[in-house]
Structure 1
Amino acid sequence: MSILLPIFALLIVVGVCAYHRFSLAVFAALAASVLVAVGLAGANFTATVVCAVILALFTLPLLITPLRQKLITTPLLKFYTKILPPLSDTEKVALEAGTVGFEGELFSGRPQWDVLLSQPKPVLTAEEQAFIDGPVEEVCKMTNDWETTHVRADLAPEIWEFVKKHKFFGMIIPKEYGGLGFSAYAHSRVIMKLASVSATLSSTVGVPNSLGPGELLLHYGTDEQKNYYLPRLADGREIPCFGLTGPTAGSDATSIPDFGIVCQGEWNGARVVGVRLNFDKRYITLAPVATIIGLAFRLYDPDGLLGPKKDHGITLALVPRGTPGMDIGRRHFPLNCVFQNGPIHGKDVFLPLSQLIGGEDYIGHGWRMLVECLSIGRSITLPSTSSGASKLAAVVTGAYSRIRKQFGLSIGRFEGVEEALARIAGNTYAMTALSQATAAAVDRGEKPAVPSAIAKYHCTEMAREVARDAMDIHGGKGVILGPKNYLGRGWQAAPISITVEGANIMTRSLMIFGQGAIRCHPWVLKEMQAAQNPDPVARLRDFDTNLFGHIGFAISNAVRSWFFGLTASKIGAAPGDAYTRRYYRKLNRYSANLALLADTSMLLLGGKLKFKEKLSGRLGDVLSQLYLASAMLKRYEDDGRPATEQPLLAWAFHDSAHKIELAMSGVLRNFPIRPAAWLLWMLVFPIGRRAQAPSDRLGRRAAALLMSPSDARDRLADGVFLTPCENNPAGRINAALAKVILAEPVERKFLKALKNSDIEALTFPEQLAEGVREGWITAEEKAQLEELRELTWDAISVDDFDSADLEAASLHRQQHMHRAA
């Protein structure tokens, strides 16, 4: 035993120092002290000396900087430079754009939770709340989505005028330019409420406040451009759109074939230097009604009018609608979500250089401008649209499941329906937390490139799952279109959000981990930048610092992964209360796992990793679920740790943990270098995969929250349009829930008496009358049951039409679209 004692002591010191990330100098001093102590305590002298020699041979060359740089760093720098994967200009811009927030902590293997929990809770100002309670509520009451989608194929003229008058298109424009100057959080809340009424309405309002001329001008426009266009955009005199996507350049936007040639031409009666544009764009939202078109194209200067450079790269311009040579007006028809969308074509369209966004100073910077603004748009518009639609579906499907009865029971009591309700509740809780987190990041001044991709992908995917489950529960009620259907159009629109601003397949398999592995990693980007430093002295110094910081980081994550896996994440410092502390510990483990897997993948696969899209997608899933779970915990803390929300938090968190372990298992089972995969499995899953999907018992508690009024249910529904009115059948069903629950005891009493009686009445009114005569129910209870029948009928009824009416509506829609074209 005395022989093994110094070995065990040294291993323990290695583990402790690696776990806590002590510096090499601290480790060497602590290890030496421990070896001296065990030697004095009677450990075998020879074994102790051997351990001391090994310690010295390992640490001394590393602690002497000139020696370390000469013997180790220099050859490694040469090797690293050779294997460093080449980055395209597109990738370089994407990596350099945006900022890193808490997602960087999740990649650290040791998240500093106080960074997250100290962030202020997002709140609305009094002015923002008044806008939501006033104009937003009013336009929701005005909107008839059936008329919009089936009859007009457009918003009603009075709605167009209303949103212009109340500056819905100017939410992000500062007050100094006549806009509302709202926060990102307020912008998100407005879109969320509009989306709960009509996808057409929310898209129409969302696009001018997302990626487009308004946002680009705010960040990059010249003073003249801002002073002229922003007031006009704010009050609706100008309707903007932005042309990026073309027939041959979708997700690969930097390969756009659209081009502009620098030349001289006529503009407003004067001969000026400008650009002659030729372009072909499609899928452009608001294009058919736009008056000012933002355009991305590649700028060439063959005659050298701007200097010796011929290819200036992607550049952005503002094209007024009436500019000669531009063809605009026809419409696409996106899955019955009839927001204005269409192609734009241009041949020999001449613009002066003053119409380039940012003027001559921003020539060639178009892709960077787009990437930076796109991260902000992705953080708000699509997540809040998904949240609004899902919140409405969650609470109304819960109410419908309580009201709708089959076999004498509310359908929500059947376990199959209960399972779907639990998914709806948990996914809605998760996506609304994620949507709130990314909007709050924008308000803190961040440009959340990686979180925005996470939010775009996962919110739209979860919204599709919520829509699917809601449709399944509603059955024919969701299938039969008409004024009483509040789900059908949302179900049809689900693929639209998944497709726009980067298809979800690309977002998951290329963007989330592809950007996150470099942008969020504490050492990788620094190493890349150091290796490319033209100063050889600084290059060696900086690479040395970052390289050995990275090595220590990797060792620490290996130790932390193994320790947390071995103890099932039950040990370790963590914030939170007695209920959530276990969740933080799990995320500490998964953070170390992610850092370890990412480091190993990048080291062993190198540049090939970006072509291993399945592995990259799974690693992205781990990062995404870590960020999602963190957002849920932040929401729970911001809400004051409400005990009533614990079933929703627990379901969503266990779902995320289960998905994390499935994704990591998928990485290791498919890792191409098998010995490395076996070793990683022992470090990541030393006692096997432990996380399980949410239990049936937990699902029952989550589902029950949707079927009964409570403060947790109210918080889940907060911010969507639930006012019961003629145009809002969903609001009427939700409002009926409380009355239905109050009538349930009377209904059970009446049905039991009816079953045990021998009365011959067959119709419900006659049965009620007989019940009063027999004394089963009182006259007041009879009135209560009559109201219950009316509420139930309103909830379950669907529309029917005369064939001629449907034909007439179709013809009217065709004529309307023809006139619009």
Structure 2
Amino acid sequence: MEILIILIVAVVLLFAIKDIRRSLISRPAFGFFKRVLPPLSPTEREAMQAGDTWWDADLFSGRPDWEKFHQTQAPTFTDAEQAFIDNQLETLLAMLDDFKIMQQDRDLPKDVWDYIRKEKFFAMIIGKEFGGLEFSPAANSYIVSRIATRSISAAVTVMVPNSLGPGELLTHYGTDEQKNYWLPRLADGTDIPCFALTGPEAGSDAGAIPDTGIVCKGEFEGKEVLGIRLNWSKRYITLAPVATVLGLAFKLYDPEKLLGEQEDIGITCALIPTSHKGVETGERHLPLNQAFMNGTTYGKDVFIPLDWIIGGQEFAGKGWRMLMECLSAGRGISLPALAAATGHLTQRMTGAYAYVRQQFGMPIGMFEGVQAAMGKIGGTNYILESMRRLTVTALCEGKSPSVITAMTKYHMTEMGREVMDAAMDIHAGKGIQLGSRNYLGHGFMATPVSITVEGANILTRNLMIFGQGATRCHPYVLKEMEAASNPDEEQGLHDFDELLLKHIGFAASNFFGSLWMGLSGARFNESPVSGPTARYYQQLTRMSRALAMTADMAMLVMGGDLKRKEMLSARLGDVLSHLYMASAVLKRYEDDGRQSGDLVFVDYALQHHLYAIGEAFKGFFANFPNRFIAWTLRLAIFPLGNHYHQPDDSILQGISTSMMQPGVTRDRHTFLTYWKDDEKDPTGHMELAFLAMREHSDVYKRIRKAVKRGDIDGNLNGDALVEQARAAEVISAEEASALSRTERLRLYAIGVDQFAAGVIEDKNFY
């Protein structure tokens, strides 16, 4: 006993007396930390410093403040935004014929281009003082999403100028002269912008761009001025074939030191009219058959004055930081909007089709195999919309959370792919045959585009989410990195010593907290709500604490090697992502007033996310190189085993039933989907058939019973079915008229388009 007391006193003194602690603990730890500190390239460091943290920091800390989280107000539209949505947006949607755009013209019609420019769809992020609309991220996201349910090509055309590009860069960094000249022209559609970053040798590693600018003297407007001689070759640039002004990213060098003592100035952004001598644009790509303008731009020895640098000479070399700060916001709006549109469209149309399309005398949505796919569509769409709303909430608060927007872009585009695949499986031939009645085909082809752009998904998951999250969201690591890189070593050691003591306490608390939550099943964790979702909050807090502990241990043991072990670090990124998505679902459920019809969707989402978190930890423990540490972590987190499971079959069936039931729940979950009350409309024909069949469901039940009795031939449809049902006195004369209309709608809805020879020729496709 005495020995134990002496040991405890010794440990307390060791940590309590600063000089002893600094000499025996902090200094050796400081040296170790400097050795294992992952090396950061200049572009990585700038990316790390760009943007903000938000709810992701709470989740990564292991101590999410749910009460604070619930106090976050979901954004609403201003009167001006709502008026635009009700009028200009609806007008544009009615103008879009996606089959004609995609398969015949390979472009938006001139009247659509004119309307988009006239009504300032390109100017949603430009300030009112410059003639723009100055809409919120919430309105921007809603508008792009709704357009995407009608035409991906039109949505991309609208979204790009309102995402990363000249408008946003000028707004944040432009000189007064640049803003006053360019922003009004961009706002009223006089100029169409594009932004050129990606090249043949530089995609996700944009810091490796070979495009160069050399500071030199040259002739401009008849005078010798100080400027830049540019050489570039870019590809995959959306709107390049029609752009009148080019935003360009390049590496700037000053070999003659005309600007100062630095030769390698760094990545720089400039704004150049495409009519400027030497600028080449217009060679067009064909991105998976999509009709939006996307192409190349290049230039050789193009001279521009220095004041064409966005922000002026002062911002030379600051281009990468500018891009990262702007991209982190745009990444959370544009491509997630397309994914949300996919979710809304597939849920509404698949639910309708699964009821309208019948097999063996019953809707195919009654078959369990189809119900499993429908459950995935409906449950995933609930996650998609929840994640879109929560991320937009952060952006509307003025935040630019780089880790959250990376998670949002990656997971929403991947989930968009999953629901589209499931919808295509259910629609089968209806989804494959292109034509004016196919509302899935073009979206299916466009899905890989979202997966690829604004950071390929593989690299976003494997490098960005945990790579940035581990340092940006951790309460101490980034500060410790800054202390370790302090050129004043003694000051760095002083700062590190104070941080280390807190970090040790943080780690110990996480370990014992995780173990206690694992043993108790997290039943003693606080929940901000009571009722059926309370247990989910308790489990998410438990997994948040487990992530904090595991990430700490992984960084301590592996140091810089963790950055290169992408399969391991990506799994921890998955844990953070699923915590965020699960939070978004719970927040939406509360914001919407705990609608009873939503609970089955919430159950699907939370069971799915907790299972995914458990699987991510399982994979991490199985592959962590230090087996003792892996065993210890697993024991602390899951001392009684991992009991998370995939959503129950009953949940999938509940969702599929809801999807085939017209009413408030279906409308709330699919409100972004555009359709017209017109049986020839691309989505209207399926919606009208569905509503008609639901309205007359009792008639179809009587007919099925008559078929079983042998009173009616089971192979009949259309007017032949109506006539025989009337003759057998299964339906009344009034019902016969309604059934005739319903059968016409049903047969048109399950049908596909066909074309006479020569109507569609090869020249229209290539």
TM-score clears 0.5: yes
1:199 alignment partner in structure 2: 152
Return the match for 1:801 from 752, 755, 763: 755
- TM-score, structure 1 as length reference: 0.91
Moved more, 329-338 or 67-76: 67-76
Residue 770 of structure 1 and its aligned partner are, at CA, apart by 4.0
Match of 2:229 in 1: 276
- The equivalent position to 1:150 in structure 2, one of 103, 115, 122, is 103
Alpha-carbon offset, residue 759 of structure 1: 6.7
The answer to whether the 8 Å contact 2:74/2:390 transfers is no
What is the alpha-carbon distance in structure 2 between the residues aligned to residue 725 and residue 280 of structure 1? Answer: 47
* Aligned residue runs from structure 1 range 416-431, under 5 A: 416-431=369-384
The C-alpha deviation readout for 1:277-303, integer Å capped at 9, x for no partner, is 000000000000000000000111112
- CA shift at 1:375, angstroms? 0.4
SS at match of 2:292: coil
Could you give the per-residue CA deviations for residues 589-636 of structure 1, whole angstroms, max 9, x where no partner exists? 110111111011100011101110100111111011011111111111
Secondary structure class of the residue paired with 2:61:
coil
1:368 aligned residue: 321
Instruction: Please list the CA deviations of residues 15-68 of structure 1 after superposition, one character each: whole Å capped at 9, or x if unmatched.
Output: xxxxxxxxxxxxxxxxxxxxxxxxxxxxxxxx3x44433322221221222332
Which residue of the partner structure matches residue 504 of structure 1? 457
Q: Which amino acid in structure 2 is aligned with residue 337 of structure 1?
A: Q
**Could you tell me how far 1:537 is from its partner in structure 2?**
4.5
Contact 1:143/1:727 (8 A) holds in 2: no
Do residues 251 (structure 1) and 209 (structure 2) align? Answer: no
Q: Kindly indicate whether the alpha-carbon contact (under 8 Å) linking 2:436 and 2:753 is maintained by their aligned counterparts in 1.
A: yes
Contact 2:137-2:396 within 8 A present in 1 as well: yes
Which 5+ residue runs of structure 2 have no aligned equivalent? Answer: none
Query: Partner residue of 2:284?
Result: 331
Partner of 2:741: 787
Q: Comparing 218-227 with 725-734, which one deviates more in the overlay?
A: 725-734
The counterpart of 1:448, out of the listed 380, 398, 401, is: 401
Q: Which amino acid aligns with 1:345?
A: Y
Q: Read off the aligned partner of 2:558 and give its amino acid letter.
A: L
Q: Distance in 1 between matches of 2:307 and 2:712?
A: 86
> Structure 2 counterpart of 1:482, which letter?
G
Counterpart pick for 2:80 among 123, 127, 139: 127
Name the counterpart of 1:350: 303
TM alignment of 1:633-712, pairs within 5 A: 633-712=586-665
What are the equivalent positions in structure 2 for 1:436-515 lying under 5 Å apart? 436-515=389-468
> Which residue number corresponds to residue 318 of structure 1?
271
C-alpha distance after superposition, 1:649-693 (max 9, x if no partner): 110111111100000000000001111111111111111111000
Query: Out of 60, 69, 78, which is 2:13 matched to?
Result: 60
Distance change >3 Å, CA 764–CA 163, structure 1 → 2: closer
Q: How has the CA–CA distance of structure 1 residues 87 and 789 changed in structure 2, closer, same or farther, with 3 Å as cutoff?
A: same
Matching residue of 1:162: 115
SS in 2 for 1:729: coil
Q: Which residue in the other structure is 1:623 paired with?
A: 576
1:735 shift after superposition: 3.7
* Matched residue count: 765
What is the letter of the counterpart of residue 388 of structure 1? Answer: A
- Quick check: 1:264–1:274 contact (8 Å CA) kept in 2? yes
C-alpha distance in 1, partners of 2:652/2:37? 48
Q: d(CA) in 1 for partners of 2:158 and 2:360? A: 45
Q: 1:260 to 1:56 in 2, by over 3 A?
A: same
* Aligned-partner Cα distance in 1 for 2:712–2:417: 49
Deviation sequence 1:472-501 (CA, Å, 0-9, x none) = 000100000111110001000000000001
For 1:811, the equivalent position in structure 2 comes to 763
Query: SS of 2:650's equivalent?
Result: helix
Q: Please say which of residues 608-617 and 768-777 is displaced more in the overlay.
A: 768-777
| Letter of the structure 2 residue corresponding to residue 511 of structure 1 | M
The separation in 2 between residues aligned to 1:213 and 1:774, in whole angstroms, is 70
Distance change in 2, residues 1:558/1:762 (3 Å)? closer
- Are the structure 2 counterparts of residues 61 and 727 from structure 1 closer, same or farther at C-alpha, using a change threshold of 3 Å? farther
> Could you tell me how far apart the structure 2 residues matched to 1:672 and 1:79 are?
20
Q: Which has the larger displacement, 434-443 or 496-505?
A: 434-443
TM value normalised by structure 2: 0.98
Q: Within 1, Cα distance between the matches of 2:121 and 2:716? A: 55
Asked if 1 retains the 8 angstrom alpha-carbon contact of 2:712 and 2:728, the reply is no
- The 8 Å contact of residues 482 and 799 in structure 1, kept in 2 or not, is answered as yes
Does the 8 A contact of 2:675 with 2:682 survive in 1? no
State the alpha-carbon separation in 1 of the partners of residues 685 and 153 from structure 2: 22
In 2: Cα distance, 1:538 partner to 1:727 partner: 73
Distance 1:526 1:328 in 2: 45
CA distance in 1, matches of 2:489, 2:232: 45
Question: Residue 637 of structure 1: CA displacement?
Answer: 1.3
SS in 2 for 1:224: helix
- Match status 1:567 vs 2:558: no
User: Which one of the candidate residues 139, 149, 154 is aligned to 1:186?
Assistant: 139
1:434 is aligned to 387
Report the AA paired with residue 139 of structure 1.
L
Q: Name the structure 2 match of 1:24.
A: none
Tell me the residue number matched to 1:819: none
1:80 maps to 33
Please give the alpha-carbon distance, in whole angstroms, between the structure 1 residues aligned to 2:100 and 2:231.
Answer: 38
Contact 1:433 1:631 in 2 (8 A): yes
- Pairs within 5 Å for 1:720-735: 720-725=673-678, 728-735=681-688
Aligned residues of 1:192 and 1:719 also touching (Cα < 8 A): yes
Instruction: Kindly provide the CA deviation profile for residues 389-433 of structure 1, in whole angstroms up to 9, marking residues without a partner as x.
Output: 220111110011011100011000101100000000111110111
Q: 1:354 to 1:70 in 2, by over 3 A?
A: same
* Mapped partners of 1:448, 1:514: distance in 2: 14
Q: 1:591 aligns with which of 507, 530, 544?
A: 544
Q: Distance in 1 between matches of 2:459 and 2:639?
A: 33
Give the letter for the 1:792 counterpart: R
Amino acid at match of 2:759: D
Paired residues of 1:405 and 1:411 also in contact (CA < 8 A): yes
Aligned pair 1:776/2:730, yes or no? yes
1:549 aligned to 479, 491, 502, which one? 502
**C-alpha separation between the residues in 1 aligned to 2:168 and 2:48?**
21
Shift, 1:384, TM fit? 0.8
Which secondary structure does the structure 2 equivalent of 1:278 belong to? strand
Partner of 2:366: 413
Provide closer, same or farther for how the CA distance between residues 292 and 767 of structure 1 changes in structure 2, counting only shifts above 3 A.
closer
- What amino acid is aligned across from residue 259 of structure 2 in structure 1? L
Structure 1 unmatched runs, 5+: 1-46, 815-821
